[in-house]
Structure 1
Amino acid sequence: MIQAIRSGRLAAEWWIVALVTTALAIGLVYDRTTQRLDRLVYDLVLRLEERTPDPRILIVAIDDRSVAEVGSWPWPREVQARLIERLAEGSPKAVGYDVLLTEPRRGDAALGRAVAGPVSVFVPLLMVAPGANGAPFDTILPVAAVAENARGIGHVNLIVDGDGKVRRVRLWEGGDRAWPHLVELLRRAAVGGQDMQPRTDPLLIPFSGAAGAFPTIGASSVLRGQVPAEVLRDRLVLVGATAGGLGDRYATAGGNRHGVMPGVEIQAQMLDGLLSGSMIKEGGLAARVLFALLPVWILLLALRKLQPGATLVLLAALLAGTLGLAAALLLEFRLWLTPVPALAGLALVYPLWGWRRLAGANSYLIEELERFHAEPDALSASSSQVYAADPVSRQILLLNQAIAQARDLRRFTADSLRQIPDSVFVADRDGRILFANAEAESLLPDLRQSPEFDMQALFARFEPLEQIAGGDGQEPARAPSWPPDEASAGGQYLCADGRCFDVRAAPRRSADGAHLGWIVRLTDITEVWTAQRQREDMLQFLSHDMRSPQASILAVLAEGSGRGIAPELAARIEGYAERTMELADGFVQLARAETLEYEPEPIGLSDVLLDAVDHVWPRITAKRIALDTEGEDAPLLVHGERSLVTRAVINLLENAVRHSPEAGRIACRLDRIEEQGKAFAVCTIADEGPGIEESRIATLFDRFQQGPAADRSSGSAGLGLSLVRAVVARHCGWVRCESRPGEGATFTIGLPLAAEDPADPSCPEPGRTQPPGAGEVHPPPCSHAPFARP
């Protein structure tokens, strides 16, 4: 549940970061907040390009030398006319005369005739902003003589950015009538192009070098006729002022590299870009937004999937990739998409997400530490209070306390495992031993000598060991294998050195249920096993070796009747032999009741009572005893072993017959009772014997305890009631005796009904033989399902 809440909160934090960075990137694109950085990146990328200027472009400069030779500017119109005529003599492709001729002067007619010559001459107009009467600008054409004879008129406007540098130009300007740029007229003259659809969106100028990149000759040299015609033939000539005092200079992109450049050279850069098709177009708003958001969202998605180290590498790759892609688009595809909004988004999203994730982790850590601090610590006497002036100090104190508690718990676990008297191994899934307590290390010195020793090598040391049978034969135990079977991970095995071990293996799991390995316990049961074998031998001796001589004695007595053996002596010998056989039978039956391994089954208590009555019926009829039964038709089902329960009821009936007088009466009753919130099936057997003193009832169910002294000559071995107690103990039931001298005795056994949960370990304390109810005897408590194999 906590993990789901944390995951939802983290997802919400991610969406907040994503929305904030997306809004920031879009805002930077839309309002051009980062224009200064955009221009700086553009200038740096543009410096990477090296292009050779178009050789067709020639600049005729009105330079300082020309001004000094011809005279101060403006030159007379006749001088300008002679300059154009000299240029025409060289047969250039076209001439762009970048000189404003808007004011009438003497000699305009001669200049008009020169413009009308055989060479295409294009002249500029003047746009004055703002215009009159609210117009954005006014258009001032050249003087009529020039305007009428020029092959085209175009504007020479440049766009100055906020930092005072020229980077862009519009090829068409104007309101109702759109005027092409002067260099656009020259381009069409050079390639023979038709009139194009006017476009007013700005283009970026691809500066291919600093000032002086294009071939330039002075206007005075042309006027003197010193320029050969071959230099001018088929050239695109741009005439403009470059002299320092004329003011036609602009700062251009690149700062120190390109520096200040005359207007005519800027026109040459534009013409070169148009002729080579390398003019740069700015991406539209949608393209800029997409370019800004794509790397940001790649990083955002990666933050949900990748580890911090991989995310940092991806961030560096995205930063470099964004810059590289912007440069490639500009240099190869002549498209400029500024990377600054994307870089700003990347620079924001990583620390912002890191801060939110760190804040979430810190909040979770504080909550878990507070919860851990509030939990009771079983290893400390008291939990100290944590006081701190600020949250960070409190977090440090809580973390220190949690670490100390974890260390104490680890030390406690290690000490506890080391002090366990059994050998304990902790292994991983592959069987490598991760931990072994002191008993395990002393048990297997190989653990210290061979680092390759693992659980598979340990299990290989064991051999199958036949389990002792308590009356029913058991199959030999299988040899242990690694990894153990979780369903039956345990058994008793024989080691190569002759010792016997009880081996138990339990899976070791993580908090989320993943299988991490195994916990293996080895208990040395050599002494127990030896005692069991001796006990088995003793039972074998009692059941066979001791019974066989007594049976032979009885057979001899039967064959030797009338052969000189006095009847009284034969009767005494026969009685001793029968008593010895009964004693052996009692030992065997008691041992069987205590150790028999069985699978529980539903038993009808009424059927058990009928079987017991049938077994004892000859003795009942021999003493002419009246037997009353009640409740034998009641459906009372219990879980257990039929022969053991039947034997217990038989013993109670035999005791009742033994102690009842001739022609007496025995009452048997079956019933269902509720006791301490549980349902029991009870069998009550009452006789009319001499009764039992109250002081003897407490020890009546111990071994070799007999009834009243007057009846001890009956031959009882004193093991019958011990068997009854052992049987009810195996079934988590109880037995009671109620008696007074001279009033007979009543024995009651109670067994849990089959409808109840047989695995409920609700038996009283072990060793209690006289609980509050008079003569009530309880078995030891069940530490597991009461009918499981012991």
Structure 2
Amino acid sequence: MRGGTNFLKSRLTAEWLILFVAMLALLVATQQRGWTQRFDLFLLDIEGQINAPETDPSIILLKIDDRALSQVGSWPWDRSVHAELIDKVSAFAPRAIAYDVLFIEPGTEASDQALANALRSSGKVVLPHSFAAKPNTVDGLMPVYPLPLFRTNAEGTGHVALVPEEDGVSRQFDLVFEIDGETFPHLMVATLALARQTKWQNEAVAGDERDTAYVRYGEIGSIREMSAATVLDGSAPPQFFEDAIVLVGATSQGLGDRYSVPSYAGGILPGLEMQGALANAMLTDNLVKRASAPWTLIVQIAAIVLLFASFWRLSPRSALIAAIALVAGLFAVFFITLMAVNIWLPVGGALLAIVISYPLWGWRRLTSVSRFLEAEAAELGGLATLPSSHKSEGFDVVAQQVAKLKQLTKGVTGNLTLIQDVINASPDAMLVTDGDGAVSMGNFAAQNLFGPMKKVQGLQLRDLLDAAGGELDEERNELDLGDGRTFWLASADLDADVGSQVLCLREVTEIKEAERHRRETLEFLSHDMRSPQVAIIGLAQQKDAGLKAPERFGRIEDQARRTLKLTEDFVQIARISNEGLEREETEMNSVLQEAADRAFPLAHKKGIKVVFDPHEEPFFARLDPFAVARMLDNLIGNAVKFSPENSQVTLGFDVGTNGQAVVLSVADQGPGLSPERRADPFARFGARDTSAGPSSGLGLAYVKQVVDLHDGEIAIEPVPGGGTKFVITLANV
């Protein structure tokens, strides 16, 4: 017995050491490969939402918004308008002006000279520049400055390069960008230096200040702002800009200067407001710096050392408490360092190691105990009671319990009980048949499938399957039930002499469904994707045929775009199938209006009006905004595609009873669905109408999938006078 206990102790010690080394390796790999980067960014966003920064009143955002565009005209503006705006703002005596508009292409000579004169006259304007790929290099970059006429007359330039995180959200800014030893300050660094903010003078931006900085976005609208239209029409109060740091830039949705930001900051922000958040963080000393990799690793290793020390010395319950305390401590370190000293110390790697190592260690201890008890039960015939002189032995508390329990083990009570316990523990339906092929035993899963064992015992397997409404394919060993489920049947001899067997039925419904999807995918690749590629090859080889080059290249482009559209539709269906929904509070009027706006270019070509009458009041629903937006794009795109010229596509929105559902509708004046499509309008790769161009049928399949994932319903109704109306009801949960 002592030899078995010593063996258990040695084995657990070895496994403890192996697991400890594996967790240290996991920490290093996690830090190098960024496996928990998204989680750490999520925590960073939570802190940013809780610890909103104060707002510096000297910052003013001068927005080129929809009102300014309506007043002045469409974008891009003539350079003389920019010159007028700079002259008027400069007259108000601001400290500095960051004019966040790229002037890299020449305009008219007169307007360019007017802008240059305004820059020179102001003496307070900093212009942005970007970066581009450096010719004849693999990954080299070079600065792309404003035109020399503007650069020489501006007081400075600063880069506006922005590299989002791996989740696509922009939180970080390079205060100083370096290329081949040459440094390029950020636009806000150059602007604050011009505004005589000593800390941000170019020569002072050194050491840690050159690192990437992270920004907490404050409450939307907290920074003072004004429309450029107010300045241009002369109604701006002069004292509003006096001694201010003015940031000028485009904020209108149609100008495209918008980026993903954390959801607490609105999800999407114009570049100007992001520049304002950065300037505010710089002025209020709220820039967040990431802790160095060595310090991050040291803190996380310390947590894992403490965790494994608790594994070694504490009972399972105390070790659990220690693990919970370590998790809480890591969260505390994360938030305290951020809030107190603006240092971001990622702890995701340590949390991941704790989450993995604790159940693994518990499982290994329980597995060792189980194996030890099983071996002892097989070896010993049974003992009555513990002797009075018994002393617990073992490596830790669990090992001592094992040493004690092994004295009380009496052996196995019988093959029947053992078999019943084993098969009851299986999640698969299991049956035992006797030598005559009659069912003699079944586990809980089998009873759920076929009914109570009292009714099942004694039945032949064929009779049992018939009673359950199943059909057995003996060639494939597959059982198909009437409710659509499929099971794989496996058997093994229990006693070859008697002829008894153990039968296992494992459900493979999802596997069969996956096979069906694979077959559809192969059909898609072999036909839908292959056809345009064959057409492209054929067109590319017709150099000397009757088609002229522009027409031939146009057809090649059409086929290539068709391939891209097919690929995008297929990827979106696969993505939402695998990842599901990400519900969030969504304002429905905005979703529908933005969908109408996106459809405008295509509809405009055919003279089609996309009409949307917003709901009287803003209404928020918990939906996946991206999935719903793409669903609407598919429906509106089909409506525009199949509608005649100079017709109308109507979008509708209503709220269900007590706000528990939202009802969306898209109606067109087209010919309606073809008879083939009406039979199964939402089938992947099914029959489709190609009268308006090639179609894969994936668009409506995606629509149906989004509706199903939202626990919704979709109806197709005819429109009086011709057309089709899709009515979609989505649950608001």
Normalised by the size of structure 2, how large is the TM-score? 0.50
**What is the one-letter code of the residue matched to 2:215?**
I
1:122 has 2:103 as partner = no
**Corresponding residue to 2:163 among 155, 159, 164:** 159
Residues 75, 306 of structure 1: alpha-carbon distance in 2 compared, 3 angstrom cutoff:
same
CA distance in 2, matches of 1:235, 1:205: 21
**Corresponding residue to 1:85 among 81, 84, 87:** 87
1:531-570 equivalences in 2 (<5 Å):
none
**What is the one-letter code of the residue matched to 2:219?**
G
1:274-353 equivalences in 2 (<5 Å):
274-353=282-361
1:575-654 equivalences in 2 (<5 Å):
none
Max Rg structure: 1
Give the structure 1 partner of residue 212 of structure 2: 202
1:147 has 2:147 as partner = no
CA distance in 2, matches of 1:167, 1:96: 20
Give the structure 2 partner of residue 215 of structure 1: 224
1:149-548 equivalences in 2 (<5 Å):
149-176=153-180, 177-190=182-195, 191-193=197-199, 194=201, 195=203, 196-197=205-206, 201-210=211-220, 212-253=221-262, 255=263, 257-373=265-381, 388=415
Give the structure 1 partner of residue 466 of structure 2: none
Q: Map Cα deviations across residues 511-545 of structure 1 (whole Å, 9 max, x no partner).
A: xxxxxxxxxxxxxxxxxxxxxxxxxxxxxxxxxxx
CA distance in 1, matches of 2:384, 2:62: 95
Query: What is the deviation of 1:389?
Result: 8.4
CA distance in 2, matches of 1:384, 1:236: 84
Residues 392, 59 of structure 1: alpha-carbon distance in 2 compared, 3 angstrom cutoff:
farther
**What is the one-letter code of the residue matched to 1:189?**
L
CA distance in 2, matches of 1:130, 1:230: 45
Query: What is the deviation of 1:121?
Result: 1.0
Query: What is the deviation of 1:233?
Result: 0.8
Contact 2:133 2:140 in 1 (8 A): yes
Contact 2:377 2:412 in 1 (8 A): no
Greater RCO (Cα-Cα under 8 Å, separation 6 or more) = 2
Give the structure 1 partner of residue 40 of structure 2: 38
1:57-96 equivalences in 2 (<5 Å):
57-96=59-98
SS at match of 2:161: coil
CA distance in 1, matches of 2:167, 2:112: 39
Query: What is the deviation of 1:213?
Result: 2.6
CA distance in 2, matches of 1:392, 1:290: 51
**What is the one-letter code of the residue matched to 2:62?**
V
**What is the one-letter code of the residue matched to 1:188?**
A
Query: What is the deviation of 1:25?
Result: 2.3
Query: What is the deviation of 1:62?
Result: 0.6
Give the structure 2 partner of residue 100 of structure 1: 102
Give the structure 2 partner of residue 744 of structure 1: none
CA distance in 2, matches of 1:88, 1:219: 13
CA distance in 1, matches of 2:149, 2:198: 26
Contact 2:334 2:346 in 1 (8 A): yes
**Corresponding residue to 1:28 among 17, 27, 30:** 30
CA distance in 2, matches of 1:376, 1:46: 64
SS at match of 1:164: coil
Identity of aligned residues (%): 30
Residues 126, 375 of structure 1: alpha-carbon distance in 2 compared, 3 angstrom cutoff:
closer
Residues 34, 391 of structure 1: alpha-carbon distance in 2 compared, 3 angstrom cutoff:
farther
Query: What is the deviation of 1:135?
Result: 5.5
Q: Map Cα deviations across residues 372-403 of structure 1 (whole Å, 9 max, x no partner).
A: 328899xxxxx99866489898999xxxxxxx
CA distance in 2, matches of 1:78, 1:163: 40
Structure 1 or 2: more helix by fraction: 2
CA distance in 2, matches of 1:229, 1:64: 23
Q: Map Cα deviations across residues 732-786 of structure 1 (whole Å, 9 max, x no partner).
A: xxxxxxxxxxxxxxxxxxxxxxxxxxxxxxxxxxxxxxxxxxxxxxxxxxxxxxx
Query: What is the deviation of 1:311?
Result: 1.6
CA distance in 2, matches of 1:327, 1:318: 14
SS at match of 1:207: coil
CA distance in 2, matches of 1:172, 1:388: 75
1:15 has 2:20 as partner = no
Unaligned segments of structure 1, at least 5 residues: 378-382, 397-790
CA distance in 2, matches of 1:12, 1:125: 59
Query: What is the deviation of 1:208?
Result: 1.7
Query: What is the deviation of 1:228?
Result: 1.9
Residues 371, 215 of structure 1: alpha-carbon distance in 2 compared, 3 angstrom cutoff:
same
1:52 has 2:65 as partner = no
Equivalences, count: 391
CA distance in 1, matches of 2:217, 2:365: 47
Query: What is the deviation of 1:115?
Result: 1.1
Query: What is the deviation of 1:258?
Result: 2.4
Normalised by the size of structure 1, how large is the TM-score? 0.47
SS at match of 1:208: coil
Contact 1:93 1:119 in 2 (8 A): no
Query: What is the deviation of 1:264?
Result: 0.6
SS at match of 1:323: helix
**What is the one-letter code of the residue matched to 2:348?**
V
Residues 94, 367 of structure 1: alpha-carbon distance in 2 compared, 3 angstrom cutoff:
same
Query: What is the deviation of 1:33?
Result: 1.5
Query: What is the deviation of 1:71?
Result: 1.2
Q: Map Cα deviations across residues 400-434 of structure 1 (whole Å, 9 max, x no partner).
A: xxxxxxxxxxxxxxxxxxxxxxxxxxxxxxxxxxx
CA distance in 2, matches of 1:332, 1:89: 41
Residues 32, 289 of structure 1: alpha-carbon distance in 2 compared, 3 angstrom cutoff:
same
- Aligned-CA RMSD value: 2.9
CA distance in 2, matches of 1:344, 1:173: 33
SS at match of 2:74: coil
**What is the one-letter code of the residue matched to 2:60?**
L
SS at match of 2:121: coil
Contact 1:60 1:217 in 2 (8 A): yes
Residues 173, 369 of structure 1: alpha-carbon distance in 2 compared, 3 angstrom cutoff:
same
Q: Map Cα deviations across residues 146-193 of structure 1 (whole Å, 9 max, x no partner).
A: 111111111111111222211111112242322110001122233134
Contact 2:377 2:411 in 1 (8 A): no
